[in-house]
């Protein structure tokens, strides 16, 4: 069905990707998202805004991030040539800053003085606290109590940067509950507050807006691949929690029908155990956090608790554009268990001297499976969305080492 994407132009004017996306929020927030949509439409076509964004990408984030040919690993696996898109080298250590830099520039132009965000692993929280520190804006980050315990380092980083980290103790005390609490804050303080959502999900225009800010990943990768190899890649691989690093890599290739796109979800203990975070592979469409998308839910429409070794993938929903790309068959979605992710983590660390984040390790683990099945003249771009420093504790603990 890839021919239907030749003129891919999603979402529609009401923020829908087919049946997905949309505007499923309380009435009090409608004026806020309308105001945001107006600002986003206006500034994304404003050369002055785009120049400021480009300048920040270059001098503050450190872009372009390299497209690195992992020659040793490619040789070892004996198949496709593996190229890593090095988002781990960005300031703050992950792709998250591409989006927070963009949204904070919008917030500034909209005259908002208070910034809120939700965070799971803490990477988005850190990326938000970072840009708030830079502009001197008040920053409140909501984080599940469970995640605060397992990502203490990032909590400390956010506090150093001047953010207030609020522990969320309702529900499952993880990312989805942090989102609920951020939405409650937003509805209460809607006049002066800008909500920086960390992934390509939520009410319109967030899914498209976050995608557009993250698409710098795919635009660079496409150019770099052409420059380095003279051709387009054969496949793209990226991990998916909410899916912002994946959509950022995929989107600029969407009309290149010959480029396969593969999103890797977290299978946790295994899809068959029910203890996972893979709504695209094992969930069904529903409505949560402002959009219609694939969700993990019970028969009554209650959201079920997810599990993944990686806090950043531990979320029961996914960005709505991925739901659409799955349904039209433009992208393929697979899953990787905790144990497999750890293999991927070690493989990249040992073969290339790069320690990936546990989220990105899911993409590495799928590369271990996929690359050997491809010819040696094929090109595989894998998004290395973040670095693994924040996961040292989790890994050491899992392997019985005290640090």
Give me the active site residues, please: 96, 118, 385
CB 302, min distance to another protein, A = 4
C-beta closer to another protein: residue 153 or 187: 187
Helix (H, G, I), strand (E, B), or coil: what is residue 79? coil
Q: Which residue's CB is nearer to another protein, number 31 or number 372?
A: 31
Give 293 or 394: the residue with its C-beta nearer to another protein: 293
Give the C-alpha distances (Å, rounded to integers) separating 34 from 30, 105, 203, 204. 6, 17, 10, 9
Closest CA to 127 of 148, 99, 155, 85: 99
268 or 283: CB nearest another protein: 283
Q: List residues near another protein by CB under 8 A.
A: 14, 22-28, 30-31, 170-171, 176-177, 179-180, 183-184, 187-191, 285-290, 292, 295, 297, 299-304
Q: CB under 8 Å to 181, separation ≥6 — which residues?
A: 118, 142, 166, 168, 170
What is the distance of C-alpha 22 from the center of its chain?
A: 19
Least CB distance to another protein at residue 218 (A): 30
Instruction: Give the shortest CB-24-to-another protein separation in angstroms.
Output: 5
Q: Which CB sits closer to another protein, 177 or 314?
A: 177
| Distance separating alpha carbons of residues 154 and 30, to the nearest angstrom | 32
The CB-of-372 to another protein minimum distance in angstroms stands at: 41
**How many whole angstroms separate alpha carbon 250 and alpha carbon 70?**
20
44 or 304: CB nearest another protein: 304
**Alpha carbons 14 and 286: distance in angstroms, whole number:** 18
What are the residues whose beta carbons fall under 8 Å from the beta carbon of 191, sequence distance 6 or more?
A: none
- The helix (run of H) or strand (run of E) holding residue 95 is none
Of 259, 277, 237, 264, nearest in space to 330 by CA? 259
**Gyration radius from the chain CA atoms:** 19
Answer yes or no: are the C-beta atoms of 294 and 270 closer than 8 Å: no
Distance in Å, CB of 327 to another protein, minimum:
16
String of b and e for 92-121 (b: at least 16 CB within 10 Å)? bbbbbbbbbbbbbbbbbeeebebbbbbbbb
Of 338, 337, 350, 316, nearest to 394 by C-alpha is 338
Work out how close the CB of 368 gets to another protein at its nearest, in angstroms, rounded to a whole number.
35
- What is the C-alpha separation between 187 and 63, in angstroms, rounded? 35
257 vs 304, beta carbon nearer another protein: 304
Least distance from another protein to the Cβ atom of residue 103, Å: 20
């Amino acid at each position: 069905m890839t021919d239907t994407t030749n003129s891919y132009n999603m979402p529609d004017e009401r923020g829908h990707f087919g049946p997905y996306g949309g505007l499923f929020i309380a009435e009090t927030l409608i004026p806020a998202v309308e105001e945001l949509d107006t600002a986003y439409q206006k500034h994304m076509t404003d050369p002055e805004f785009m120049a400021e964004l480009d300048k920040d990408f270059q001098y503050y984030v450190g872009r372009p991030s390299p497209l690195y040919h992992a020659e040793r690993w490619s040789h070892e696996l004996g198949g496709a040539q593996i190229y890593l898109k090095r988002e781990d080298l960005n300031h703050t250590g992950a792709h998250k800053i591409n989006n927070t830099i963009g949204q904070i520039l919008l917030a500034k132009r909209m005259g908002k003085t208070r910034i809120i965000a939700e965070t799971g692993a803490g990477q988005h929280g850190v990326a938000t606290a970072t840009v708030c520190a830079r502009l001197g804006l008040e920053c409140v980050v909501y984080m599940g109590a469970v995640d605060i315990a397992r990502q203490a380092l990032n909590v400390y980083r956010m506090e150093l940067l001047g953010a207030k980290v609020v522990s969320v103790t309702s529900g499952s005390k993880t990312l989805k509950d942090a989102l609920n609490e951020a939405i409650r804050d937003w509805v209460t303080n809607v006049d002066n507050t800008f909500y920086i959502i960390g992934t390509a999900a939520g009410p319109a225009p967030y899914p498209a807006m976050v995608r557009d800010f993250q698409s710098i990943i795919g635009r660079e990768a496409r150019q770099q691949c052409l420059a380095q190899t003279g051709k387009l890649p054969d496949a793209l691989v990226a991990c998916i929690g909410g899916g912002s690093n994946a959509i950022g890599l995929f989107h600029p290739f969407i009309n290149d029908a010959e480029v396969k796109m593969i999103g890797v979800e977290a299978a946790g203990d295994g899809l068959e155990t029910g203890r996972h975070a893979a709504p695209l592979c094992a969930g069904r469409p529903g409505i949560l956090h402002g959009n219609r998308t694939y969700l993990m839910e019970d028969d009554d429409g209650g959201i079920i608790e997810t599990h993944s070794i990686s806090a950043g993938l531990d979320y029961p929903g996914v960005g709505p554009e991925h739901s659409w790309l799955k349904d039209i068959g433009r992208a393929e979605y697979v899953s990787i268990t905790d144990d497999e992710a750890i293999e991927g983590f070690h493989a990249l660390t040992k073969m290339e001297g790069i320690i990936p984040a546990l989220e990105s390790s899911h993409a590495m683990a799928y590369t271990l499976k996929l690359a050997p099945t491809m010819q040696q003249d094929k090109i595989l771009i894998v998004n290395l969305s973040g670095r693994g420093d924040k996961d040292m504790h989790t890994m050491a603990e899992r392997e019985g080492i005290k640090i």
